[in-house]
Amino acid sequence: MRLLLALFLAALTGATQAQDAGALRARHAALQQQLANNTFGRPLHVESSASGGAHKGEIYAVIEQPFSVVAPALARAAHWCEILALQVNVKRCNASNGNMVRTFITRKARDPVDSAYRVDFRFEPGTASRDYLRVALGAPSGPVGTRDYRIVLEAAPLDSRRTFMHMSYAYTLGTMARFAIDAYLAGAGRDKPGFSVDGGERGVVERSAMRYYLAVEAHLDSLGVPPAQRLEARLRRWYAAIARYPQLREAVSAEEYVEMKRKEAAAVAPG
């Protein structure tokens, strides 16, 4: 009986994974026009939604990396610390207990870590098979009255050298956060566009989603250099990637960013 149950569960899991991979490839097929004709000059598509306090940005992209490289590079919590720490205002990230990703996020790029807000993400390894990957990170609360943070990444191979990836970034605004974003959009964020929209709340979440997605790409691209050089490669690749988009411009220069991140990494390095 136990053997039969184990075989049934294995078959059920395999069927679910195949269905998920099929659904992701179907989404790729449905987005052929958007992926082929856009302002990015590459197969990439951005969507967003904002309803009430719930905000979500979604990135779909074809990357020139085999799935056999992509899947193991994104399957562990420690990998996601390396990804999240590329953001200018993520001053520290620690992965512990296998599934906890603890980040320290400041309001501005040059703010010190002792002024940071701690956000604890729970890493969910989710689904991994030979043709489908799904991982997620969730945090119940964040800075300035935000909550329900959720990062979900799916990937499936298109052929032996290309992978189709879908990443979503979502959060919910509480009352305090609503006041904060209204003030931002009336001031510093008034003229900042998104990617599929001119601006507003959807523009805000699209810019955030794109920054995180480009961090995933920078992490994957850095795997081609020796381990001792990967931090430097990630930093320079991420900054170069965001510099291509005026709406992602940061307050710090490339060299200031790299030096700042080197120091932050050294502060948490073992030994």
pLDDT tier for residue 5 given thresholds of 50, 70 and 90: very low
3-state helix, strand, coil in the chain (%, to 5): 45, 30, 25
In this structure, the number of other CB atoms found within 10 A of the CB of residue 101 comes to 24
CA-to-CA distance for 7 and 186, rounded, in angstroms? 58
The two tokens of residue 1 are 């009986």
Higher pLDDT, 1 or 90: 90
Cα radius of gyration rounded to whole Å, the chain: 19
In contact, 128 and 74? CB cutoff 8 Å: no
Return the higher-pLDDT residue of 5 and 234: 234
| Confidence class for position 182, pLDDT limits 50, 70, 90 | confident
Q: Do 82 and 235 touch, CB atoms closer than 8 A?
A: no
The reported pLDDT for the residue numbered 3 is 39
Q: Average pLDDT in the 150-168 region?
A: 97
- The residue-averaged pLDDT of 30-59 equals 96
How many angstroms separate the CA atoms of 180 and 269, rounded?
34
- pLDDT at residue number 191: 81
Range of the domain at 32: 2-268
Name the token pair of 260: 């700042």
Rounded distance between C-alpha atoms, residue 7 and residue 13, angstroms: 10
Check which CATH number belongs to the domain holding 252 and give it.
Answer: 3.30.530.20
Range scoring the smallest mean pLDDT among 98-107, 150-159, 167-176, 261-270: 261-270
Examine the pLDDT at 150 and tell me if it is beyond 70.
yes
Query: Count of CB atoms within 10 A of residue 95's CB?
Result: 19
Tell me the one-letter amino acid at 3.
L
Calculate the average pLDDT of the chain: 90
Residue with tokens 């060299």: 255
Model confidence pLDDT, tens digit, residues 184-211: 888 888 888 999 999 899 999 999 999 9
Q: Which residues contact 196 (CB under 8 A, 6 or more apart)?
A: 46, 47, 48, 202, 206
Q: What is the model's pLDDT at position 208?
A: 96
Report CA dihedral (208, 177, 91, 218) to the nearest 10 degrees.
-10
pLDDT bracket for residue 232 (50, 70, 90): very high
CB atoms under 10 Å from CB of 226, counted, come to: 7
pTM for this model (two decimals): 0.91
- pLDDT tens column, 71-128: 999 999 999 999 999 999 999 999 987 799 999 999 999 999 999 999 999 999 878 7
Considering its fold, how many domains does the chain have in total? 1
Strands (E), the chain: 44-51, 54-63, 90-96, 100-105, 117-129, 132-141, 146-157, 163-173
- Between vectors from CA 85 to CA 163 and to CA 64, what angle results, nearest 5°? 15
Confidence of residue 18 (pLDDT cuts 50, 70, 90): low
